[in-house]
Amino acid sequence: MTAPLWPHQERGLAMLRQSLMNGAKHPVLQIPTGGGKTKLAATIVKSALAKGNRVAFVVPAISLIDQTVRAFGKEGIDHLGVVQADHPLTNEFALVQICSVQTLAKRTLPNVELVIVDECHQRFAVIENWMAERPDIRFIGLSATPWSRGLGKNYDALVIAATTQDLIDQGVLSKFRVFAPSHPDLSGVHTVAGDYHEGELADAMDKPELTADIVQTWLQRGENRPTLCFAVNRGHARSLEQQFERAGVPVAYIDANTPRDERDKLGKALEAGRIKVIVNIATMTTGVDLDVRCLILARPTKSEMLYVQIIGRALRGADGKTDAIILDHSDTTLKLGFVTDIKHDMLDDGTPKRAAPRAPRAKAETLPRECPNAECRAVKPVGVRKCPECGFEPIYREEIAVQQGNLEQLKGEKLADDRATKQRWWSGLAWYVEQRGKNEHWAAHRYKDRFGVWPRSLRWMPREPDVDVRNWVKASAIRWAKGKGTEAGREQIRAGRSNVVGV
C-alpha cells in the first residue's frame, strides 16, 4: 500500500492533465526539491500503464538508475527494464524503461508512447533530437528549477505544482535560517558561460583564512548537525576536509568518482552521526534524500538554478526537524536573494529579451541584508528592521534638520567607530559609486572625511545606504557647495534642494 499524494502533488497532476488537454505536447512539471517529485513521476507512470502506454523514464546520471528502480518498486511498478550498459535488469520488452541519458545517446531509442525526463533543465541533446524526430510521442519534463536558457524551444508549457515557499508554509519543507559569516573577494574572478570561472574561483576561495573561518563558523553555529558542504573543486574540497579533520570533526569527501555504494555508506554514516560533514563538489545536488540539517555554501555562484538546487538539499522535511541552518560563505544569498524569492512564471525560449528601462534601485531594494550586529551575521529579509536571530534593531538618527529652507547638520553624539560601523559606511559609499556614477576616489575621500583614515581592509560590498550615511553625504555636499561660494550653490542651499549631490 503506497502513501497517498500530498495536496500539492494532486494539484500538480490536475494542472498537468489540463495542460495536456489544452494541447501541450511537451509540458514541464515544476516541483521543489523535497516536494515528492519521484512519487509524482511514479503516479504518472502508473496512469500511463493503465492506458496501455509504454514509458521511458530518463535520468541525468548513471548513478541514479538503481535509485529510481528502487523508488518505482516501492510504488508498485514492476514492469521495469533498464537501458544502461550491461545492467542486470536490461529487458527491452519491459513496459517501463529506466534510461540513463548517456546510454540513450549510444543506443537505439526505446519504443514508447511517453517519455518522462528527470532534471530536464539540463537540456540533453539526445532528448531534444528525439522530440524533433518523433512528434507523436508525449514528453514530460520534471525539474525543481526549469529556468535554463532556451528550454522553451523544446518544451511548450510550464506547470508549477508548488513553490518552495508554498511547501514551507504547508510544513512539507523545512524553514531555514541563513548566516553570512564571511565575504570572499571575487573581484579578480571572471565570468564564463554565466557563472564564475571555476579555476579562478577556486583560487579565490581556497585560502587558509577562508577555509579556517568556514570550520570555525560551523563549530560555532552548525549545532553539530548533519551537514553538507559545497566546495568549488577537488583541491578546495580537500582543503576543507583537512581543516575539519584538524578541528577533530568527523568528515568525508565525495566527488563524481566516488562509487555509488560508497556514497550510500557515507550517507548512512552522516545520518547515524558517525560523520558530521560531507564535503562535495556539485555531486550532491540531485538524487540526495539525506536528512541534512545544516548546509555550508562555500561555492559562490551566479546561477539561480545551481543555488536553488544546492540549498534545496537542506530543506527536505524530517521528523524532529524544526529548521535548516545555511552558512553562506559565498555572498550568494546577498546577491541573488533567498531561494524562496526566486520565481519564474514561464519557460525561456532563448530569444533576446527587450531591455527594460533601467531602475538601479529596484534590485537592491528586494535583496536580503546582513544583520548589522557583527556578532550575529544573520541574513534578514528586506524591510525587516529587527533581526529575527539576535533581536538587534538599528536606531537611525536624523543628522539633518530643515530650518527656514536651509539644510543644517545637527550636532550629536559621534557614532561608534567599530569595524561593523565602518563597513556599513564604506558599503553605503560604494553604493553611490555603483548606482550614482561616483568614482572610488570620491568614496575613499568621503570615508576619510568621516573617519579620519582610509578604508583599508574593508570589503567592496555596495549596499543601499541607511539614513545616517545618506544624511551625512547630503550635509557634506552642502558644506562643499557653501565653501564653493557660487551663486548656483547658494541658490540650491537657499531652496533646500537635496539634489545638489544627486541623492
Q: How far is CA 227 from the centre of its chain?
A: 17
Q: Is the domain of 162 the same as that of 193? A: no
What does the pLDDT read at residue 259?
87
Going from the first residue of the chain to its last (503 residues), give the mean pLDDT of each consecutive group of 10, the final group possibly shorter. Answer: 89 97 97 94 96 96 90 93 92 95 92 97 96 97 96 97 96 96 92 95 95 95 96 96 96 91 92 96 76 97 96 94 96 95 93 54 68 87 88 64 43 55 87 86 87 82 84 78 52 41 36
Same domain, 213 and 233: yes
Same domain membership, residue 456 and residue 328: no
Nearest to 455 by CA among 446, 447, 466, 467: 447
* Residues linked to residue 178 through DSSP beta bridges, in sequence order: 326
Is 118 within 8 Å of 17 (Cβ atoms)? no
pLDDT of residue 459: 81
State the pLDDT at residue 382: 84
The domain that holds 106 is classified in CATH as 3.40.50.300
Tell me how crowded residue 342 is: count the other CB atoms within 10 A of its CB. Answer: 17
3-class DSSP assignment, residue 321: coil
CA distance 458 to 232: 24
Same domain, 327 and 405: no
Q: Are residues 181 and 289 in the same domain?
A: yes
Q: Are 180 and 370 spatial neighbours (Cβ–Cβ below 8 Å)?
A: yes
CA distance 337 to 368: 6
Report angle CA 483, 447, 201 to the nearest 5 degrees. 145
* Same domain as 132, residue 267: no
Q: Say if residue 145 is in the same domain as residue 200.
A: no
Same domain, 338 and 452: no
**pLDDT of amino acid 489:** 46
Shared domain check, 70 and 190: no
* Domain final residue pick, 348, 364, 381: 348
* pLDDT score of 356: 44
pLDDT of residue 365: 59
Query: Could you tell me the residue range of the domain that residue 302 belongs to?
Result: 174-348
Domain-embedded: residue 244: yes
Q: What is residue 269's predicted lDDT score, i.e. its pLDDT?
A: 96
Query: At residue 191, what are phi and psi to the nearest 5 degrees?
Result: -105, 130
Question: What does pTM read for this prediction?
Answer: 0.77
Same domain, yes or no: 138 and 186: no
Give the Cα separation of 56 and 111 in Å (integer).
9
The answer to whether residue 366 sits within a structural domain is no
220 found inside a domain = yes
Same domain, 39 and 136: yes
- Given 112, 140, 167, the domain boundary residue is 167
- Dihedral of the alpha carbons of 298, 248, 312, 190, in degrees to the nearest 10: 10
- Residue 34 burial by CB count (10 A; 0-12/13-18/19+): exposed, middle or buried? buried
And the C-alpha cell for 233? 573543486
Inside any domain, residue 66: yes
C-alpha cell at 26: 511537451
